Structure 1
Amino acid sequence: MTRIVVIDNHGQFTHLEQRALRDLGVESELISNDTDPADIDADGIVLSGGPDMDRIGRSADYLDLDVPVLGICLGMQILANELGGRVGGGEYGGYADVDVEILDEDDPLLGSLAPETRVWASHADEVKEVPEGFTHTATSDVCDIEAISNTDRDLYGVQWHPEVAHTDEGEEVFENFIALCEQ
């Protein structure tokens, strides 16, 4: 059975990420972001959202475990920040429904979604510059960089929360990530 761990970065929806994966038939465990990378046995990792970059524990260390990684909100910002991109304050601020445009129909994480999809996202902080080796895969009128992918390293990030009911195609995002973990 496919096993995906969710790294707890203290976000308010983190438990919903684990539940979404479990409901899709995946063995899933919520683990502390201080867990030693050597103790992680998984086919994939979800870096959860959270309140700020000061509380990410060892999240950066998990990027080198040679398994697919999906960064959600703060998780995507960790990917960008640790791999040479840039994160800064968003102009919009807190949570809101946002219409996101998918920019790459061949992207393995988002390419199967509708060309425009409604999501629930926080934009208090956001990726301002995409790291080298990543592709900018989604945008909105609220935030230029809504999603990024590095298919060579199997690293993916979305600014929005696919685990909440307000996101139209969130389950499909998780299904696509599971498929990446099963390859």
Structure 2
Amino acid sequence: MTTIAVVDNHGQFTHLEQRALRDLGVDCTLVDNETPPEDVEADGIVLSGGPDMDRIGQSPKYLEDGRPVLGICLGMQLMAVELGGEVGSGDYGGYADVTVDVLEEDDPLVGSLAPETRVWASHADEVKTLPEGFTCTASSDVCGVEAMSDTDRDLYGVQWHPEVAHTEEGEEVFGNFLEICLASAEATH
């Protein structure tokens, strides 16, 4: 069975990320973000959302160990910052229902949602400059980088929260990430 660990960055929806994966039949554990990656047995990692960059613990180390990573909201932002991109304040601010345009139909994480999808997202902070190796895979009229992917390293991020009911195709995002983890596990065994 595929195992995915959700690294808890103290986000208000983190438990819903774990539940969404369990509902897909995934063995999913919730891990405190002070836990080092080498202590976590999992085929893939979800870096949860959270309130601020000062409380991300060991999360950046999960980007270096070769397992597929999905960053959600703050998880995507810390991925961008740690790998050389830039994050700044969004023009829009708090949570809102947003229509996202999928830009890369062949992207393994969000391509199946093309041409667009409705999501629930906070735009208090957002990725302003992509890190090297990443492609912007989705955008909206309130945020230029709603999703990003580095398929060579299996690093993926979404600004929105796929785990909440307001996001129309959130389960599909988690299902696509599961497929990425399965393919990666097969390639390494």
Of 35-44 and 117-126, more deviation after overlay is shown by 35-44
Q: Determine what percentage of the aligned residue pairs are the same residue.
A: 75
Matched pairs, number = 183
Equivalent residues in 2 for 1:36-75, closer than 5 Å: 36-75=36-75
1:5 aligns with 2:18: no
User: Could you tell me how far apart the structure 2 residues matched to 1:93 and 1:12 are?
Assistant: 17
Task: Give the alignment's TM-score, normalised by structure 2.
Answer: 0.96
What residue number does 1:24 align with?
24
What residue number does 1:181 align with?
181
Give the 3-state SS of the residue equivalent to 1:97 in structure 2: strand
User: Could you tell me how far apart the structure 2 residues matched to 1:65 and 1:22 are?
Assistant: 24
Aligned-CA RMSD value: 0.5
Residues 134 and 148, structure 2, Cα contact 8 Å, conserved in 1: yes
Note the alpha carbon deviations across 1:102-139, whole angstroms, 9 max, x for none: 00001000111131110000000000000010000000
User: Could you tell me how far apart the structure 1 residues matched to 2:165 and 2:50 are?
Assistant: 18
Give the 3-state SS of the residue equivalent to 1:112 in structure 2: helix
Note the alpha carbon deviations across 1:116-167, whole angstroms, 9 max, x for none: 1100000000000000100000000010110000000000000000000000
The one-letter code matched in structure 1 to 2:168 is: D
The one-letter code matched in structure 1 to 2:47 is: L
Task: Give the alignment's TM-score, normalised by structure 1.
Answer: 0.99
User: Could you tell me how far apart the structure 2 residues matched to 1:118 and 1:70 are?
Assistant: 19
Residues 103 and 114, structure 2, Cα contact 8 Å, conserved in 1: no
Structure 1: 5+ residue stretches without partners:
none
Give the 3-state SS of the residue equivalent to 2:113 in structure 1: coil
The one-letter code matched in structure 1 to 2:5 is: V
Note the alpha carbon deviations across 1:62-106, whole angstroms, 9 max, x for none: 111211000000000011000000000111000000000000001
Structure 2: 5+ residue stretches without partners:
184-189
